[in-house]
Structure formats: structure tokens, C-alpha cells
Structure 1
Amino acid sequence: MVQALARAGCAVTLVLKAPVRTGRLVDPLRALPGVTVRSPHAEGLIDIEGGMPPKAAAAVLARVDEEERLRPAAGGPPHPPEGGFDMIVVRGRRLAGKLSAGPLAGRLWTYLTDVPQSAALFDGSSKGELRRIADASRVLLCQTEELRGFLESAVPATAGKSVLFPPVVVLPDGLEPRRDGAPDGRALTLVYTGKFAPRWNTYEMTSLPRLLAIRGVDAELHMVGDKIHDDPADPGFATRMRTALESGQGVVWHGGHPRAEAMRLTAACDVGLSWRHPEMDASLELSTKVLECGTLGVPVVLNRTPMHERLFGTDYPLFASTETDVLDALTLIGKNSDVFTLAVERCRAAAAGFTLDAAAERLRGCVERTFPEPSAAVLAAAEEHERVAVRLGAAGGGGPARPDEALAGTAAPSGSAPPDAAQGGPRRLRVGVAGHDLKFFTRLLDYLRSRPDMEVRVDKWAALKVHDEDRSRELADWADVVVCEWCGPNAIWYARNKRPGQRLVVRLHRFELYARWPRHLPIDEVDEVICVSPHYADLTREITGWPAGKVTTIPNWVDDHQLDRPKLTGAEHHLGMIGIAPSRKRLDLALDALEELRRDDPRFTLFVKTKLPWEYWWIWQKEEEREHYERVFRRIRRSPLLAGGVVFDSYGRDVASWLRRIGFVLSTSDDESFHLAPAEGMASGAVPALLGWPGADTIYDTRWIHDDPSAMAASIASTVSLGRWEHDRLLARDQVRAAYGLDEVCRQWTDMLAATAVGATAVRTP
């Protein structure tokens, strides 16, 4: 991790949890540029012998962070007041749990491995602890896609923060990958490294040379390790295991060795063994030993699991679940050089994505997205606001001479920074966000907060019409730019209480356009109205009569980085819908398309991720809504073509994980302002299929829009049958990244805030 972070461009401080006994691991890290190694034991920061328990480690990390905060920063402003380090990378649930309640919360990058890996083990206490860790973490690093999906389903707070960070394999200095070909005319050498335990099948492995000899295959098994597990459920295991290691036919026991020597022993063998008990097939973690073997060019015998199939291919020749499978695979590889060569190539290809360079590239991208570079335009806008405030104050313009004077004597909102002048850095643009429901603004808010050239404060209204007026007035007195999420009472209040020189931006959704609030909004006090689609921008101009130049379009964002995950087998026959309420979402039209597809191919299945209509009281109280859904569900029960073809999945934040099984995302609504579901599906690598609701062609390519359910079904069927699905899904993914990817939409928001801040309202063409 230290090496990967350093290669990603970070200045890294490594805090050691135990005293240094040998410099074998630490000395090479001390020699890396930009890396500082802190040893609390040697520095006298702790008087505990051995490794630090989590509580002590949390205290030491907080102290090291405070020292970093107070240390003068070379060539720039002081460190932010919340702490000296931008990110704190920590591994382990117990330590992360302790840190989640301390001063490092909010800056944690938590590497999660020691989590319960089944629903049965995931009790309320575990969920609560992981929820607290997720809330305190900026990023959650997950070893495998399977672990990430499980966490997002079990702990919704992890969704949107989970980033894939697989194991990293680094070869020791001087060790080269194995270059020998298949064993020809000599004994087949097998190797196992690690602990000896019942579920790892290590005792059964010791019988392989003897059983292979019966089949006419000369083999030798090399066992590396010295940790023999004492199993309470099998008290005799340790004795049997040691006896087999010491006297088993064809078994060579090397004992314990450092990692580098163990890898050298592995590189000298033909085949690695990672065959485990079937109970281990559900593991959500990936064996580093398997990847090390692949990097060394040593093929591995291992269990067939979805994770392994994705890495090695479904036709990998060394998958095995039983002892007979293992013997068959080793017999084949011992007598067939072509199979051996294929296995080597698959293992090398599987391990290629787990190098140190690959890890550094992953971290570099994540760091760049989390910590955007400052914008000269935004800093210029902030300085212009400062000058305007000073001019207005000098001229008695009614506003405070400096925006921060309005906060004099008052406590700043939690987590906010003190005035920029006190920090000694360039003045930042002050952005206020006000609204009762920020669910459509969350990632934009995270992004704006992460920018070093902006300071962001939020006025969270308790309800649509309920707010703390003193807090709202405080924000109005402080902000350079106010963004009102929803064109409701919040927008009306801020328009009526706007300071001279202050900019006001209102984001309008479909919900408000047909409500009464836009009629009461003093539009002359609004600098820009943001709509999410060109169609609704046109409707807004038409319905409200507002000046055309004030109504512009910035689309909804799609978190394409989070959604881009490998598809599961069979996804090309899986249709998906997200949300079926109210009735204008038209689940019935999706069923029309599904029936036509299943008439020719029963593999087509519709997955629906949604709250059910009776969970919305405002929908279920309407008689026409109840009647619609009664007809729909009666049809699903009674139609022979739909039987077994519709799956309802619970509503939740784990959309990215759910979309891994979906090959086509449907949009059959009567009307939408944007409809995010097809865009999210496209970002996941699914093909969108839409009916032509008004404005759809201003948001999505017309190739994805169909006249009716029959045309939609025909297009889906031909896409699959003609082998176009892979091409179309990648095309759709590229389209959504370019138009609605999070980075692109955040760029548009940054440009808009900088432009409106200096009074040059940005008019963008759709």
C-alpha cells in the first residue's frame, strides 16, 4: 500500500504498529522518495510492548495527525483545520471502528477484509459497526467485486463509497517468473505455501503423490509453512498433519520461510495447489497465493467458483472440487504439454491486473477524483466577490463589508473552515446549498466540498416549508453563491433575502414545474435556473414565461466509476427496471415486451428493483392507482408466458451491484424529466431500451428509442441473437460517460458557478 500510494503521487507517512525487529521490510520503504516512517515505540509515543491494541493505535494516530497539522507546509497555505493528513488509510475493522468516533473521521480510507462473509454471521452488531465505519470513511477499499456487492447489500451506507482495490503482488528483488515448459520425462512437482488447516485440504494434499503414482504419474509435493492449526472440532488433526508432512510418500516439508524464499520455492515447481473444502467456495476474498503463482508462471489447481471463473475463464483446465477432480487435472497436465501451457497462460493473464503498477493506477484515479485540482476561474470568481463586497460595504450598499463579517460572533457550522484570511491562503468561493431533500444532489455536494477552491455550507430545511430562519439568514449573509435544490419555498425565501452582489442559482425538477411555487418566484432576483434536460428547459420557459437566457441545462449526473462493474453470466437475457411507481412508469408495457421475448426464448427474465406501490401512501390512496397495479399483478400470476419470468428485488442503494446481472434497462414511462435508470444501466454496461416519452430523444440516442413494446422486444431479441449485445453495451457505456458521467457533470457545475459568480450568466446550448 505504501509503495502504491507513493507511485500514485502521494506523500506517505507510515505509522508502525509494532517495534522494528528487523529492517528487512521497513528499510526499503524508508528509502522511497516522499515516504516517512514513524515508529511510535522508538519515538516514545507509546510504552506498550509489542503491537498496539486498537484504542492505543487510535490515540497515536490522532497525535501524529495533530503534529502534521501544526507542521508548517512548505510553499503553500497551512493544513486544513480538521487535520494534517488528507487521507488516513487503515486496515482492520476494530481499528477503523475506534477511529470512526475520533478526530480522523471523514478522512478514513478503510480497507475492509475482516468482515462476516455470510448473511448468517452478519448480526445487528456487525451491521452497526460497519455502518459507523462507512459513515466515517471517505472511501472503502474492497478486495473483490463479490465483497463489495455483499457489503453494499448488507450495509447500505457503504454504497457509493466502495472502491475495488484487489490484492497486490510484488515479486521479491531478483526473482524472475518461471520460464520452464511442461515437465517432460521428469517428476511433476507440486507446491503449497501457507498454513495447514482442515478446510484448506492440506492433509488430503499429502496423499496426492501416492495416488498419482497409482495412475502412472511420478509426482513430488513441496509444502512450505510451519503453522499447523489446532482444530477443536478435530483434536487429532495437528498430529496427523505433522506426521504426513514428515513421512508422507513424495512429500518434502520445507518448514517456515520468509515470503521471498517461499516464492522462490514456488517458482521452482510446476503446479501450485489452492484446492479447498467446498465450504470455502463462498469466500468473498481472493487468495494472494493464487495470484503469486500466476505472476510466477506457475499454474494453480483451485476450486471452481464464479470469482475464479471470471478470472481464469470457465474452461480453465485445473478447476477441481473433489480429490478425484484434482487427480484428473494433475494426470492430464502431467501427460499433456498443451494443457499445461494453456493453464500457465491463463494464470499469468489473471495475475496481470494485480501488479504494483496496476494498484498505483487505481489509487491515482481515485485520489484525483477525491481531491480535484483548484480552478483558476473559481479562484478569480472568489476574488471578484471579495472586491464587490468591499465596494458595496464602502458605498453603504446594504451588505456587509466582507461576507465573513456577517458571521462575526457566531459559531460556524460543524466541519466548516474559518475565514480564508486566517488561513493565509487564497480566498475560496463561498457556496451555500439550501433544500429540504438533497438526494439528487449528494454526489455533486460531495464534489463541491472536495474542491480546494470552494467552501461549502448547507442549509438543510426540515421540510419543504419548514426551516430555521436564523440559519438561512446566516447562510444568505455569508455565501457568494446560493444554490437552491428544488424550486420551492426555499428558492422563494432566498430570492427575497438575497444580498446585493450575491448570485442565486435554482435547480428545478419536474415536480415543481407543475406546482404553484414558480409563479411566486421573483425571477429578477434569480441569476440562473438549472433544468436537467433540454425538453424540460423548453417546457419551463413556455410555462413560466421566464427570460430564455436564465433557463439553462445541466444534466443529471451518473456515477460511472461506481457503476462500471463486470457483468454476470447470462446478463444478456436479463431485462431490468428501477422503480415502477406511480402507474405512469408503465410496468404493463414492460410486461408486453417480456411476453413477446419469452414466446421465443424463455431465458429472458425481467428483474424489477423497486418499492412496491402500497409502500407509498400518496399513491395507494388513489383508486385508479390501486386498480392499475391489481391488474398488473393479476396478469403476472396468470400469464403462462410470464410465469417465472418476473423477479421483484427490494429497493435499496445497492444499484451498482444489482445492475451486474442486467443486460438491458427498460424505460417505458408515459413521461420523464430525465429518467436516470437507463443512464445508470448504460454506465453499468447494459443496453438501454426506451419508449418514446416526450423529450427522450433530447437525452438519449434515438437508436435506443422504440415506437412500442413490440418494436422494443424485436430489437432486444435481434441484438442478442445476432451477437451485437457486447458491441451495443460498450457503445452505450461510452455515450453516457461522455454526456452524463460524474466528472463531466461536475465540470459543468464548476464552470457554471465560476461564471455566475462574476455576473456572466452562462448560457449553454443543450
Structure 2
Amino acid sequence: MSTPSPRALLYGDVDLNIIDGSAIWAQSMAQALAAAGCEVTLLLKAPVRTDRLVAPLADVPGIRLLRPYEDDLLPDRGPRGLTPEQAVELITRQHERRPFDLVVVRGRRLAGLAAQEEALAGRLWTYLTDFPHSVGELSATSTAELTEIALASRFLLCQTEELRAFLESSVPAACGRSVLFPPVVVVPEGVEADGQVHARTRIAYTGKFAPRWNTLEMTELPERLAQLGVDAEMVMIGDKIHAEPADWSKRMRRALESTEHVDWRGGMARADALRQSADCDFGLSWRDPSMDASLELSTKVLELGALGLPVVLNRTPMHEALLGADYPLFAGSDIGSVAEVVARAYADRDLYARAAGRCRDAASAHALERAAERLRGYLSEALPGAPDGADPERPLKVVVAGHDLKFFTRLAEYLDALPGLDVRIDQWEGLNAHDQYRSRELAGWADVVICEWCGPNALFYAKWKRPDQRLIVRLHRFELYAEWPRKLDIGKVDAVVCVSPHYAELTREITGWPSDKVVVVPNWVDDVQLARPKLAGAEYSLGMIGIAPSRKRLDRGLDVVSELRRMDPRYTLSVKTKQPWEYWWIWNRPEERSYFERVYRRIQRDEKLASGVVFDPFGPDVATWLRRVGFMLSTSDDESFHLAPAECAASGGVPALLPWPGADTIYDPHWIHDDAVAMAEAIHATVSEGRFHAEAERARAEVTGVYGLDRVRSLWSDLVVRGKVPEDVSAAPAARS
């Protein structure tokens, strides 16, 4: 039986009668969702007064338009379109009638209201644009609102990597949910510029007319170019003129209607605007400097580039990332600089061709099929298929029980999303504190019980286990040397899961449990979330995550960076951690406090360390933080797995480990060094000999091939659904031999 297409509802708090970036987004998103295989319902905000944007969608298979005005779907509709409250009411009503698999929304107030609807929780795909783009503007109220939106959303769709980084750094709940969805460019087939510069050069602008978009200043461009000996015409397409300030809007309209060599063509369908733009020689997307810090990317820049036009625009970090710092058509803040840039490219045909090629190449990454491919990946993540052995008609009942589920939450969410599994959580208040009546009820209900930590929870569920029930216990380093494993009736346990071969062997030795009951399912690495472009100079940045307690051996990390800074002062160490005094059980121990006092005093007194070590706040924004880290140090006395080096490898960095017990059963010995000096020498050789990218590619391939999230989740689904005990898995040859 074929799998039904995912049902998607799409609503943006935008009026599709007016052609601007927001309206183009709604049209493009509908096309991309349909191309990704969704059955799309596009809810319109306003009555259709012009079909320039909606008519092209009527011919796209898989897209249905929902017209609340024409179909009289709500009472008391205002003349300017649905309010956010009305839109959410209508979305919820439609969802209750026939559920949607995903609800894609744009608009902060709208998303905030949708986040309060329990029926939509986990189904929202929120496209974020209209929120503060700097820390100074981000108030406690807006942070709380964004947190609520993040918690209710399956995904937060971010236009750019910069926006995602800012969001994750400011709103911890966004981490793990924020994904990239850049603007989509849909160009009619066969429409492109001819690549020539004509005697009378034409410069195209399409979009809204607004003060910060510099559209009034653009009307001066033909005259400025004439002073430079260039015959030029400004072609301006669009009909949305900002009403405020009133004096400005009057001047804007007068300039459009009466300025010599300004050809205002009004509003038109998107395809027609692209065809007319293709007849021009240059594109223009030049804005007020106050917008240079924006974390959004202009769709117009990409559309004009896709036509083969070189685009004149501001030099911003976003545009440098898109087109390169050496892109030749960056303009300054005044109209004179725009004229000079156009005149230079007009006279230099090679420069013109290079700029046009750069814009075309940048736009190609935003084509409709690329967007659909990206969406198919997110759909696969959000709506996984049923695993082998599962029957959606008779779901397997699974309980996940434990006092601290932070290491298992993502796996529990995945299991819960699988058709054929019904997952319930037994959250214990503490190691020994829980609702005994609920736990007993769940023990009687479950087909499979997963105990996260081998503590009192495992003893409880072993006591109440039925013969037809399966019990899986995940054991960590913490409880291996405690009393609970000795008290556990191993005969009631079907599998004890350890995260590394070394700790699995230790568990067998210490407990005497049957060898075949102790299995290895490694920790997972979210390789998709971590795969982000490194920042310039990342190869000179070392990282450590979590330096308490003292057995993490920050002192050895300091030895490494000290040695490296002796070779090259560009090396630094970034430490992302809670401070030891934030853990009462560490800071109350005299030997721990004495150790950290010595280490921190050393940093203060050693000039190389004082200027080369940075402490960053602990938090879930690891993927963003890793963009500036090239090497991850693992200098501990011992670890059960140590995820940080694997996360760094998945992010495009290089792991660097000292030989703690079992390290070679998890990581390839290639990444393991005898001591701090050997580690420093290997790091410097990798950088100075130009091998950083090659080493990073090798590390990423090794780590993601074994510890990638998809692989580890499939191991767990096999274990839960089919009782299949996986073989030991590791990226290290020592473990595979």
C-alpha cells in the first residue's frame, strides 16, 4: 500500500494582492512543498483582488487554495484581511476537521498564537523573520515569546546561517529545532538575460517602495550616470508604496511618475516581472545602511542573479558570504557610489561578466528543486516511516523511565514519531522518588520498558516485569560502580546497553552478567544539525566542552594551547562550560576546589594563556559554537564515550585525544596522541602543512558513518521493535577487529 502524501497547511500573515518579498515567499513555499510531495492547502489572508500571485498556483498539482472571504469561512472578516487570531482559529478548525501533518506559518504574532494551540503542537513549521536581530533589541518578553514558539514547533525555518546562529544563541529552546530554509527562486523556463551591456543600459528594481529600501534615491541614478557619460534608464516594477511618512510617499510617487529616464511599470505577475527584468542589464538591491545588520537574505537579489544579471548591492557580512568579499559590485551608502559601480562595470565587460557569473552561481543554490530536496529531508525527519516489524494498526507499547532523560530525549521523541509505536514517559522526580501508582500502571501496560540509567527505576521495573514483556536498561559510568547493578535481577533483563565497547567489557567484568546481554549502542551525533560552515580562522581555535570535575583535566588542555602559542600566537582555546562552583557537589570537595584554584591562577599569571583562553557560557548552542572551533581536545583521565570530539568531527573539525582507557575502541588511533606536547605538534603540523580540511573530511566520514543520528536511531528501533541485539559498533579499528 502506498504511503499517502503529507498534508501541509501553509499560511503567511501576508497579503498576496501586493507583490513584495513576503508574498513571494508564500507563493514559493507553496510551490516548494508541492514539489517535495506534499498535498498543500494555502490559506489566503485577504480577498483576491488581483490574481497575479495566486493564478500561477492554480495550475500546480497538489496545491489547493483556501479562500476565507470568497467561501465565507469566518464571520466578521475585516477589510484588510484576517487578523492573526482569526487565522489561527481557522487553521485549528481545518486541522480538527482533517489533521495536517505540518502547519507552516510566517509572522511572529501569528506563530505566538498558534503555539498556544495544543492541537498544533509539534506540527508547526515556523518561518521566522520579524523578530529582533540584535541582542540589544531582544527583550525578556520577546525571548519568552520565541521560546514558546520554539517549544511548540517541530522546526524553526531560518533564512540564513547567521539568523540561525543568533536565534540559537539567544533562545536555547531553538537548538536542535532550527533548520536552514533559504529563499526559493523560481524563474520561468527560458527566461534569462542576454549577458550583454547595451548602449542605453537598463537597471532593474522590483519590489516595494519604502524609505529604507532607498527607492526614492534610486530615481536619481539615471542623472548621476549621465554625469559619468553613461546613458541609463531605471526600470522600476511594483505597486506597493509605503504610506508613511506621508510626505515621503507623495515624493516617491511623483518621482516614479515624472522623473526623466525612470520607467515605472507598476505591479504585475511575478513571472512577468522576471521577464521584464531579464531585458535589463543590471539588478539593483541597494538599501539604507541601517539594514546592513539584517539576518535575512533578499529574494530579489537571488531572482535577479538567477536571470544572469549582475546585482549592485550593499557590502554586508551576509552579502559577502553569498557572493564573496571580492565581489566587484558592492556599493557605498550614497547614490554616487552606486553610479560609480555601474559605470565601472558598464565600461569593463570582463568585470561585468564576472559579476553576473558570481550572482548566477549564488542563485543556483536556491532553485526550486534544491528547496524541494531540502524539504524532503525535513519531512523524512518529522514523519519517519514505520520500522520493520512494527504494525501501525497494533502499536507496540513502550515506556521510557528514568529520573534524568536529557541523554535520551531525542531518541524517545524519535521512537514516539515512528508509526507502530506508542511511547509514554515515566519521569521520576529523583533516583528514588516517583509516582509508584503511575509506574505500576505503566509496568502493566507496556510491551517494552526502557530504563534510562541502571538505578532504582531498573530495580522497580525488573520486579514487576511480565514474562511476555521486554526490559532494556541503559547503563552509564555513574552507576557502574554503585550498588544498583549488584541488586538487579539480570534474569529479568533482556539487554543492558552501554555506549562503548570498553565500558561494555568493564560491565561484564564487574557484574559477571552474561556476555550476550551486555550490548553496545553508541551515543549519537546529530550530524545534520552540526554540518555548518566553519568561520574563517577556525583551524587556529581549539575547543573543550565541560571541564568539571577535575578528571576532565583542563590543565592538560592548557599545556596544549601553551605549546601551540609558542609556535604561533594565533592559536586560542575556547572552553564552553559551567564553572566548577556551579556544581555544589564538586565545589564542596576541597581537592576539587584546590585543583581549579591552581588552574585558574595559572591562566591569570601566564601571559600566553591569559590572552589565549576564552570561557564561553554553557548551553545547548553547541552547533553554532563549533563553527569557530577547529580542533576538539579530549584530555580526561577517563571517559565512557566523550561525545565532544565526535561532535567536532561532524561539524567539520578534527578530534584530538589523549589515551584515556577505551579511547581507541571509540576513535581511530590516528586522532589519539601520547601526551600534550605530541598533541600540540600534530595540530600545528596539520595546520601549517595545509592538511586541516583533508583531516576534517576524514574525521567527519569516520564519525558520521558510525555515530550519525540516523544510524544510532535505527539501532535503537531494531532493539525496541524486534528485540534485535546489535553487534558492537565503533569508528575505531581496535573495536572492529
TM-score in terms of structure 1 length: 0.88
Q: 1:586 to 1:240 in 2, by over 3 A?
A: same
Superposition deviation, residue 761 in structure 1? 5.0
Pick which of 459-468 and 248-257 moved more. 248-257
1:320 to 322, 331, 353: 331
> Helix, strand or coil: the match of 1:261?
helix
Q: Contact 2:521–2:726 (CA<8 Å) still a contact in 1?
A: no
Superposition deviation, residue 231 in structure 1? 5.0
Q: Contact 1:755–1:762 (CA<8 Å) still a contact in 2?
A: no
1:577 to 531, 538, 544: 544
Moved over 6 A (4+): none
Q: Contact 2:497–2:518 (CA<8 Å) still a contact in 1?
A: yes
> Helix, strand or coil: the match of 1:376?
coil
1:211 to 213, 224, 249: 224
Superposition deviation, residue 23 in structure 1? 4.5
Amino acid at match of 2:211: P
Amino acid at match of 1:369: E
2:74 counterpart of 1:63: no
Q: Contact 1:549–1:763 (CA<8 Å) still a contact in 2?
A: no
2:114 counterpart of 1:99: yes
1:32 to 60, 72, 75: 60
2:410 counterpart of 1:443: yes
2:236 to 205, 223, 242: 223
> Helix, strand or coil: the match of 1:642?
helix
In 1: Cα distance, 2:149 partner to 2:419 partner: 25
Superposition deviation, residue 255 in structure 1? 3.6
Residues 635-670 of structure 1: per-residue CA shift (max 9 Å, x gap): 222212223211111111111111111111111111
User: What's the Cα RMSD here?
Assistant: 2.0
2:640 counterpart of 1:673: yes
Residue 343 of structure 1 corresponds to which residue in structure 2? 355
1:333 to 345, 369, 386: 345
2:182 counterpart of 1:169: no
Superposition deviation, residue 325 in structure 1? 4.4
Q: Contact 2:162–2:295 (CA<8 Å) still a contact in 1?
A: yes
In 2: Cα distance, 1:583 partner to 1:568 partner: 31
Q: Contact 1:275–1:321 (CA<8 Å) still a contact in 2?
A: no
Pick which of 222-231 and 117-126 moved more. 222-231
Pick which of 117-126 and 241-250 moved more. 241-250
Residue 301 of structure 2 corresponds to which residue in structure 1? 290
Q: Contact 1:275–1:302 (CA<8 Å) still a contact in 2?
A: yes
Q: Contact 2:408–2:452 (CA<8 Å) still a contact in 1?
A: yes
Superposition deviation, residue 213 in structure 1? 3.2
In 2: Cα distance, 1:304 partner to 1:484 partner: 55
Residue 421 of structure 2 corresponds to which residue in structure 1? 454
Superposition deviation, residue 322 in structure 1? 3.2
Pick which of 254-263 and 347-356 moved more. 254-263
Amino acid at match of 1:65: H
Amino acid at match of 1:433: V
2:713 counterpart of 1:746: yes
Residue 689 of structure 1 corresponds to which residue in structure 2? 656
Residues 391-432 of structure 1: per-residue CA shift (max 9 Å, x gap): xxxxxxxxxxxxxxxxxxxxxxxxxxxxxxxxxx62111111
> Helix, strand or coil: the match of 1:42?
coil
Residue 133 of structure 1 corresponds to which residue in structure 2? 149
Pick which of 158-167 and 19-28 moved more. 19-28
Residue 385 of structure 1 corresponds to which residue in structure 2? none
Amino acid at match of 1:466: A
Residue 389 of structure 1 corresponds to which residue in structure 2? none
> Helix, strand or coil: the match of 1:13?
strand
Residue 352 of structure 1 corresponds to which residue in structure 2? 364
Superposition deviation, residue 675 in structure 1? 0.5
> Helix, strand or coil: the match of 2:529?
helix
2:150 counterpart of 1:122: no
Residue 414 of structure 1 corresponds to which residue in structure 2? none
Superposition deviation, residue 230 in structure 1? 5.0
In 1: Cα distance, 2:713 partner to 2:476 partner: 18
Pick which of 600-609 and 344-353 moved more. 600-609
In 2: Cα distance, 1:492 partner to 1:762 partner: 24
1:43 to 71, 80, 96: 71
Residues 561-594 of structure 1: per-residue CA shift (max 9 Å, x gap): 1111111122121111111111111111111111
> Helix, strand or coil: the match of 1:113?
coil
Superposition deviation, residue 347 in structure 1? 0.4
2:106 counterpart of 1:86: no
- How do 1:580-595 residues align onto structure 2 when only pairs under 5 Å count? 580-595=547-562
In 1: Cα distance, 2:469 partner to 2:305 partner: 60
Residues 43-84 of structure 1: per-residue CA shift (max 9 Å, x gap): 33212244211111222112211221xxxxxxxxxxxxxxx2
Pick which of 260-269 and 455-464 moved more. 260-269
Q: Contact 1:527–1:761 (CA<8 Å) still a contact in 2?
A: no
Residues 379-401 of structure 1: per-residue CA shift (max 9 Å, x gap): 4xxxxxxxxxxxxxxxxxxxxxx
Equivalenced residues, count: 698
Unaligned runs of 5+ in 1: 69-83, 380-424
State the identity %.
60
Q: Contact 1:568–1:661 (CA<8 Å) still a contact in 2?
A: yes
Superposition deviation, residue 277 in structure 1? 2.3
In 2: Cα distance, 1:281 partner to 1:203 partner: 18
Residue 181 of structure 1 corresponds to which residue in structure 2? 196
Residues 572-623 of structure 1: per-residue CA shift (max 9 Å, x gap): 2111111111111111111111112212222212111111111111111111
Residue 10 of structure 2 corresponds to which residue in structure 1? none
Superposition deviation, residue 492 in structure 1? 0.8
Residue 8 of structure 2 corresponds to which residue in structure 1? none
2:278 counterpart of 1:267: yes
Residue 479 of structure 1 corresponds to which residue in structure 2? 446
Superposition deviation, residue 24 in structure 1? 4.4
Residue 7 of structure 1 corresponds to which residue in structure 2? 35
- How do 1:627-638 residues align onto structure 2 when only pairs under 5 Å count? 627-638=594-605
Superposition deviation, residue 175 in structure 1? 5.4
Superposition deviation, residue 154 in structure 1? 1.3
Residue 491 of structure 1 corresponds to which residue in structure 2? 458
- How do 1:501-580 residues align onto structure 2 when only pairs under 5 Å count? 501-580=468-547
2:84 counterpart of 1:54: yes
Amino acid at match of 1:11: E
> Helix, strand or coil: the match of 2:120?
coil
Q: Contact 2:715–2:726 (CA<8 Å) still a contact in 1?
A: no
In 2: Cα distance, 1:230 partner to 1:476 partner: 65
2:38 counterpart of 1:17: no
1:201 to 206, 209, 214: 214
- How do 1:419-438 residues align onto structure 2 when only pairs under 5 Å count? 426-438=393-405
Residue 391 of structure 1 corresponds to which residue in structure 2? none
Residues 280-313 of structure 1: per-residue CA shift (max 9 Å, x gap): 1110100011011111111111222222222111
Superposition deviation, residue 348 in structure 1? 0.6
Q: 1:124 to 1:584 in 2, by over 3 A?
A: same
Pick which of 455-464 and 638-647 moved more. 638-647
Q: 1:252 to 1:39 in 2, by over 3 A?
A: closer
In 1: Cα distance, 2:417 partner to 2:540 partner: 40
